């Protein structure tokens, strides 16, 4: 009797709590437009299907406007305000990306690791990876040659390859040589994990953005992409943790033997050195490095190869640039810096075939006022247009691909160290802009240069005759290379 008497009360309590949770969740994820900013579109599907084209219509506004995205309304800020916002203390990089990348969901821990342990990741990349670029150049050169031999072979007969898939395999191996060393860089399990986690995690995030906020906590358990992300993350933990444990033991043994001068030469060792007692998810951290390398570097290199197949007349001048520098300096960090034409070509590819239509995604922790008087409300999310890259006001004949564009700009007095592929600027925000510009951009630049240089010198390549010209994939504000694009390739006659 007492049990039956209590049941309705418990039922009512559970029902009430459920309604409260749904209401709170709904109210937090279904915000209305910001009152003071004009609305370009309140249709999230319009943004999800082709946000790049949608944002072009926003240029009719004199200043900021807002659009409904997959997660919330976002304020779109014109490119001219990038410089005044790039290091603003009231704008949070971490809060904005945590909301958009669903970092609390299982399987997406690498995205959370980037944000929650951002000072750790920055230290590993800036103090260890970037300062070691001179030491790892030879390793990248050797690994590239071995990787090309495995993927493209030595045949002087034409063979057909899918460009993007092969480039992802190449970048996965080169990055793993630096991030994991020889112990795992050619391990088939790790290469499978690092490549497929990158794909499945970005697809999972994109899928979650397309779902209603109330459905996401349930859908992610049944989503194929989310399930695969969890699967690959768990596999990464199984592979990485024993390596970390061995590395810690080696460092402790070296320390006890007064051999403190021995230094780590890969990212696992760097992470162990930089952890200093902090609780670090090493598998998530390693995957976070792979996310940046495979997603950004492989897309960039693929776009470069597509451009060379579109304009084969560019190939021989680039070969000559590479030969000239290597004959003078060999495979050194300085040689890579001296490849000015190749660097200019890469930056022009990044300008013309930009990955993102916007940059500087930020969350406003306090109200802020732009120089034109526009007030960005507290609690809003903003992103800055990246359209100066396509403007003839900033780049003469912007619609024309000019391989020498940035090399010529560097010839102007006082600008020899500007306009480089790895240099963020308000008119070229492929690596972001300001204090949160991609810290791994110098490594990415060297990695891509080595991969392109060796390919140019040792192989001939072109589109497969008869294939249709590849079409970029555009979704939300992203441009991705056509995953079905093919080229044929053969080993060149004689020496490179």
Binding-site entries for heme: 438
User: Are 431 and 361 spatial neighbours (Cβ–Cβ below 8 Å)?
Assistant: no
State the burial class of residue 495 (Cβ atoms within 10 Å of its Cβ: 0-12, 13-18, 19+): exposed
- Dist. CA 72–CA 213, nearest whole Å: 10
- The annotation places the binding site at 438
Q: Is 162 helix (H, G, I), strand (E, B) or coil?
A: strand
- For CA atoms 329, 331, 335, 341, give the dihedral sign: positive
Please report the DSSP string for 122-143 in residue order. Answer: HHIIIIIIGGGHHHHHHHHHHH
- Dist. CA 417–CA 79, nearest whole Å: 23
Of 484, 432, 486, the residue nearest 464 (C-alpha): 486
User: Are 451 and 301 spatial neighbours (Cβ–Cβ below 8 Å)?
Assistant: yes
Of 325, 347, 360, the residue nearest 423 (C-alpha): 347
The single-letter DSSP state of residue 33 is P
Q: Is 472 helix (H, G, I), strand (E, B) or coil?
A: coil
- Dist. CA 349–CA 307, nearest whole Å: 7
């Amino acid at each position: 009797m007492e049990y039956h008497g209590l049941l309705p009360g418990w039922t009512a309590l559970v029902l009430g709590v459920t309604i409260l949770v749904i209401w709170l969740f709904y109210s937090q994820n279904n915000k209305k437009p910001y009152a003071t900013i004009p609305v370009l579109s309140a249709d999230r599907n319009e943004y999800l299907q082709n946000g790049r084209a949608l944002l072009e219509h926003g240029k009719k506004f004199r200043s900021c406007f807002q659009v409904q995205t997959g997660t919330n309304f976002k304020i779109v800020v014109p490119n001219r305000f990038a410089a005044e916002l790039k290091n603003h203390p009231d704008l949070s990089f971490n809060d904005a990306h945590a909301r958009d990348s669903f970092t609390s969901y299982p399987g997406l821990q690498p995205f959370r690791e980037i944000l929650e342990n951002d000072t750790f990741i920055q230290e590993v990349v800036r103090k260890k990876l970037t300062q070691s670029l001179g030491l790892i150049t030879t390793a990248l050169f050797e690994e590239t040659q071995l990787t090309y031999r495995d993927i493209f072979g030595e045949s002087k007969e034409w063979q057909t390859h899918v460009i993007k898939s092969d480039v992802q395999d190449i970048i996965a191996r080169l990055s793993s040589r630096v991030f994991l060393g020889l112990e795992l860089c050619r391990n088939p399990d790790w290469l499978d994990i690092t490549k497929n986690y990158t794909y499945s995690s970005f697809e999972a995030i994109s899928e979650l953005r397309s779902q209603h906020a109330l459905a996401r906590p349930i859908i992610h358990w049944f989503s194929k992409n989310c399930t695969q992300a969890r699967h690959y993350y768990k596999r990464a933990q199984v592979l990485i943790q024993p390596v970390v444990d061995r590395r810690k033991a080696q460092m402790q043994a070296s320390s006890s033997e007064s051999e403190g001068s021995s230094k780590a030469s890969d990212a696992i060792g760097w992470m162990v050195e930089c952890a200093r007692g902090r609780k670090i998810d090493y598998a998530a951290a390693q995957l976070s490095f792979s996310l940046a390398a495979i997603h950004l570097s492989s897309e960039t290199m693929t776009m470069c190869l597509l451009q060379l197949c579109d304009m084969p007349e560019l190939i021989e001048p680039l070969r000559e640039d590479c030969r000239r520098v290597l004959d003078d300096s060999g495979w050194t960090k300085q040689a890579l810096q001296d490849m000015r034409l190749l660097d200019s070509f890469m930056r022009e590819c990044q300008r013309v075939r930009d990955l993102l239509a916007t940059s500087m995604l930020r969350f406003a922790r306090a109200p802020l006022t732009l120089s034109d008087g526009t007030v960005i409300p507290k609690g809003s999310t903003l992103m800055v247009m990246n359209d100066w890259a396509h403007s003839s006001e900033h780049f003469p004949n912007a619609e024309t691909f000019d391989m020498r564009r940035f090399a010529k700009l560097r010839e102007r007095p006082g600008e020899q160290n500007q306009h480089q592929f790895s240099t963020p600027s308000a008119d070229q925000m492929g690596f972001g802009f300001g204090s949160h510009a991609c810290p791994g951009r110098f490594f990415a630049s060297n990695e891509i240069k080595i991969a392109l240089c060796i390919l140019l010198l040792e192989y001939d390549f072109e589109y497969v005759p008869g294939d249709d010209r590849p079409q970029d994939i555009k979704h939300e504000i992203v441009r991705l290379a056509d995953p079905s694009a093919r080229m044929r390739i053969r080993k060149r006659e004689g020496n490179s």
